[in-house]
Amino acid sequence: MLRALILIALTCLFGPAFADERAQTQQQLDATRQDIAELKKLLGQLQQEKSGVQKDLRGTETEIGKLQKQVEALQQELKKTEGELERLDKEKKKLQSARVEQQRLIAIQARSAYQNGREEYLKLLLNQQNPEKFARTLTYYDYLSQARLEQLRSFNETLRQLANVEKDIALQQAQLLAQQGTLETQRQDLEKVRAERQQVLAKLNSDVKARDQKLAAREQDQADLAQVLKTIEQTLARQAREAEEARQRALLAAQEAEKQRQREALAANQDATPKKPRAVPGPLVSSDGATFGGAFSAARGKLPWPVNGRLLARFGETRGDDSRAKWDGVMISASAGSQVHAVHGGRVVFADWLRGAGLLVILDHGNGYLSLYGHNQSLLKNAGDVVKSGEAISTVGNSGGQDTAALYFAIRQQGRPSDPTQWCRAQG
């Protein structure tokens, strides 16, 4: 019976603390689920943005491919044009050689005609003995002169046409080169755009990867918190079951004791010899009513800070770059290894590592008031220990993924976060 009464007393003692911890864990679990939903939504938006950039990149690279194909076609045209120019240059050289030879022959004929022509004409004019011969000679000279003139005209026309062809080919070549330069500029511009979009895509991939990792971490946090909540609920259920069983055993024991007392009283009445009454155990006492520096609810604005340092983050401020996440406590900068002191007397209900909080100590101060001390380097107390106000409970560290040494300090009132600066004394 005494064991049953002790079990009932312990259940009454730890029951409220576990209930507060369960409410706190449930709130953390709900917040984590909301974070996961928001992260999944953000990941969906990033995936859509990534798809848009990939679509733009696909269009840019397709356009680059078309322009590159045009550039290669123009290069083939330029090669053909260069081949045609080489052919025409050879023909030009042949014509130039022919022109030089024709010029030489024409020069010889001109000198000969100049030297002999006047004398022949003069002889023909003075010699009137054979008029028919004179007429034939004049006709011959006319044909010869016309042939020479026609040869010169044909030669000059060939040179003119050659010059025009060279001019046209040079113009075409210049146009092709200009077009090639334009296409090359466009290709370079598109290459620049593609490089920029590839950088954007790489950044998006990095963001998506980071968000995936953060989502995985949040989901792991959710799993850890769910496990803690499950453990607390199982503990509460077991305590309630054991308390009920103890109550039933105590009730049966009391009934059996009453029956025994009645039997003894009946026997005493029947026995003439007086008997000494049996001693009955006194009432059970416990330290549940002990106070540690007074009631916590009366300590608003009077509590000491758990560690000396500077506030890095205040209650309600935005956490990092996520505008949805708010600080539900404060972060206090302090040297690694500095002792962390309990701000009020209470009982340790949690002293272990918890994802996101590192090495964490939770004190129950009664009446639904809890204080939390996270990211510790080491824990100096165990669950179930009773501590006094100002007693060292842990040391400052950076556990739980913190970059620098600092203490996470929070206060819960009936499961709801409360601003620690309203409870602790103002720092001078």
Confidence of residue 76 (pLDDT cuts 50, 70, 90): confident
* Backbone angles phi and psi of 389, in degrees to 5: -60, 130
Q: Where are the chain's structural domains?
A: 1-270, 296-422
Confidence of residue 250 (pLDDT cuts 50, 70, 90): confident
Place of tokens 């004179």: 134
Confidence of residue 146 (pLDDT cuts 50, 70, 90): confident
Highest mean pLDDT pick, 28-37, 132-141, 153-162, 375-384:
375-384
CATH hierarchy code of domain 296-422: 2.70.70.10
347/370 Cα distance (integer angstroms): 10
Tell me: domain 1-270, CATH 2.30.30, correct?
Answer: no
If you ran DSSP here, which 8-state letter would residue 284 be given?
P
55/73 Cα distance (integer angstroms): 27
**Mind listing the pLDDT tens digit for each residue in 152-198?**
777 777 778 778 877 888 887 788 788 778 878 877 887 787 787 77
When the pLDDT of each residue in the chain is averaged and rounded to a whole number, the result is: 76
- Integer angstrom CA distances of residue 394 from 240, 344, 363, 391: 32, 14, 12, 9
Which residue from 261, 341, 262 is spatially nearest to 309, judged by alpha carbons? 341
182/211 Cα distance (integer angstroms): 43
Write out the two tokens for 219: 């989901």
411/422 Cα distance (integer angstroms): 10
Residues 6+ apart with CB under 8 A from 420: 315, 329, 330, 409, 410, 411
Q: What is the average per-residue pLDDT within 20-42?
A: 74
362/340 Cα distance (integer angstroms): 12
**Mind listing the pLDDT tens digit for each residue in 84-98?**
777 777 877 877 777
Q: What is the average per-residue pLDDT within 341-359?
A: 91
Q: What is the pTM of this model?
A: 0.41
Burial 29-38 (b: 16+ CB within 10 A, else e): bebbbebbee
- Integer angstrom CA distances of residue 285 from 6, 201, 247, 367: 9, 70, 17, 20
Residue 100 pLDDT > 70: yes
Estimate to the nearest angstrom the gap between the alpha carbon of 125 and the chain centroid. Answer: 111
